Amino acid sequence: KRSGSTPDQPRAKRLLSSSCCTPYALLSPSPSLAPSPKYSSRSSRGQLVASLGSIPAPAASSQPATIQLLGPPEANLTKNYKFMFQKALAVRDVLSWRMEELGDALKAHYHLEDFTSVALPAQEAVTVLGQIGCDGNGKLNAVSVLLQGDREHSAGAQVPLDLSELQEYSLFPGQIVALEGTNSTGRRMLVSKLYEV
C-alpha cells in the first residue's frame, strides 16, 4: 500500500545516490555510436517486403525524356526564381488585379450596379467592393471587421463595418466581398447585404 501525501503530512522524498547523479549513469546501456550488430547483419536489404495494388513495370526506353513547356513563354519559369521574394509593389498589383477580377465576377453573378467608394458618406444604400480586414492584432470578431476598398473606386480607403443587420455571415481576413449598406457619416458602414464568391 502506498502512503498518501497531503499538505499536512508530506511524503518524504528519496535521496538519489551519488552513483546516479551523472547523466550517463541514467542511460542503460551506455551510449554507443557503432550500429547494432543485428542491423548490420540483416539479409533483406533492398528487398520488397509488401505492396498494395499492382505497380506497372516502367517502359524501357533508350531515348532521354523531353520536357515541353506549356502556355505562353512569358508565363513559364526558365531560370532560377526566389519564392516569396517579390517586391511589395508587385504584390500590391497582383492583389489589386485579383480584387478587380473577383469584383467583375460578383457584379456579373449577382447583377450588381457599379461599385462606389467606401469612404464617401451615403444616406442611401450603396454597393462597395473590398477586402475583409481586422482593425487590430487579435482575432477577427463582429466588432473588429473592416473593409479595405479597391484601388479603382476607393483608392484603398478603409471603413469599419457594422454587421448587426446581417442574420448570418462567415468572413475571414483577406476575403474579397461586395457589400450593400449605408455609410451616413463616412466613418462606419451599416451592412444590409453581403455578396461573396
User: What is the distance between the alpha carbons of residues 197 and 193, in angstroms, rounded to a whole number?
Assistant: 14
The answer to whether residue 123 is domain-embedded is: yes
The answer to whether residue 93 is domain-embedded is: no
31 has pLDDT over 70: no
Task: Read off the C-alpha cell for 82.
Answer: 526566389
pLDDT in tens, 50-74: 777 776 666 666 677 787 878 887 7
CATH number of the domain that 162 lies in? 2.40.50.140
The answer to whether residue 186 is domain-embedded is: yes
pTM of the model: 0.58
More confident residue, 86 or 49: 86
pLDDT value at residue 64 = 76
The answer to whether residue 114 is domain-embedded is: yes
Dihedral pair phi/psi, residue 187, rounded to 5°: -110, -15
User: What is the distance between the alpha carbons of residues 47 and 69, in angstroms, rounded to a whole number?
Assistant: 38
- Mean pLDDT of all residues belonging to the chain: 81
By residue range, what is the domain housing residue 130? 110-194
